[in-house]
Amino acid sequence: MKVLLVCSSGGHLAHLTSLEPWWSAHERHWVTFETLDATTKLVGEKVTYAYAPTTRNLVNLVRNSFLAVRVLRRERPDVIVSTGAGSAVPFFWLRRLAGRQVRTVYLEVIDRVDSPTLTGRLCRPVTDLFCVQWAEQLRWYRGALLVGKVW
C-alpha cells in the first residue's frame, strides 16, 4: 500500500508524525511546507514541498492545485491521508488522478472541538474515511469515525 501524507507544517505535521507506527510499515510520500520543523522531522523521507501560506490564499491554492496534479499522477498513492490545512483541498478533490481506486482519509485536528475547520468542511464531500479525535467533533462531520486522540 502506498500512502501520500499531505499536511501543513507545525501542528498538522505533528499529528501525522505521531502516526509513525502506522505509516512506517508502508511505502509513502509527504507533501508539506519547507520549514525548519518539517525538514528536520522528515529527514530520510520522500517529500515534495507545497506553497505556503494557504490560509485564505487563492494564489497558493491555484499553485498547489497544479502541484497536486503532478504529484498524484507521479506517485499514484493508494491512500491519501491529511490533517489539513488548505494544501489538502486540491489533493482530495483531484484524488482520481492517482487512480480510480484511491481512498482519501482525513483526520480532524485535536484542537478544534467547538467548531469544524474550513479544510475539514471543504474536504468532507470527497473523503472516504473521516476521522475525529473527540466525540464532540462528530456533530460537525456526518458519517465520521471517532478514533481517539493522537497522543
Partner 1 sequence: MSTSPALDPTDPVEPEALPTLEELETRTEPETPDELATLEALDLPDPLDALDPFTGPRVAVLLGTDRHPFDRLVSWASLLAAEEQDEWLVQHGYTRWPDVAGTPGHVTATRMLGVDDLAPLLLNAEAVVTHGGPGLIMEARAAGHRPIVVPRDPARGEHVDRHQLDFTARLAADGTITLVHTVDELRTAVREARASGRDISVNGPQNAEMIARFAAAVDQARRSPRAPLWRWLLRSLDPRSLDPRRPRT
Instruction: By CB under 8 A, name the binding residues for partner 1.
Output: 1, 9-15, 18-19, 21-22, 35-37, 39-41, 53, 55, 78-79, 81, 101, 103, 105, 107, 109-116, 121, 124-129, 131, 133, 138-140, 142, 145, 147-151
How many C-beta neighbours within 10 Å does residue 29 have? Answer: 18
Here the cell at position 104 is 482519501
Supply the minimum distance, in Å, between the C-beta of residue 11 and partner 1: 3
Supply the minimum distance, in Å, between the C-beta of residue 119 and partner 1: 13
Nearer to partner 1, 31 or 38 (CB): 38
Rounded Cα distance, 56 and 64, in Å: 13
Rounded Cα distance, 31 and 50, in Å: 6
Supply the minimum distance, in Å, between the C-beta of residue 7 and partner 1: 11
Nearer to partner 1, 61 or 118 (CB): 118
2: Cβ–Cβ under 8 A, 6 or more apart, which residues?
26, 27, 28, 29, 75, 76, 77, 78, 79
Q: Is 151 exposed, middle or buried (0-12, 13-18, 19+ CB in 10 A)?
A: exposed
Nearer to partner 1, 20 or 58 (CB): 20
Rounded Cα distance, 42 and 51, in Å: 17
Nearer to partner 1, 66 or 145 (CB): 145
Q: How many residues in the chain?
A: 151
Supply the minimum distance, in Å, between the C-beta of residue 148 and partner 1: 4
Supply the minimum distance, in Å, between the C-beta of residue 70 and partner 1: 23
Nearer to partner 1, 53 or 73 (CB): 53
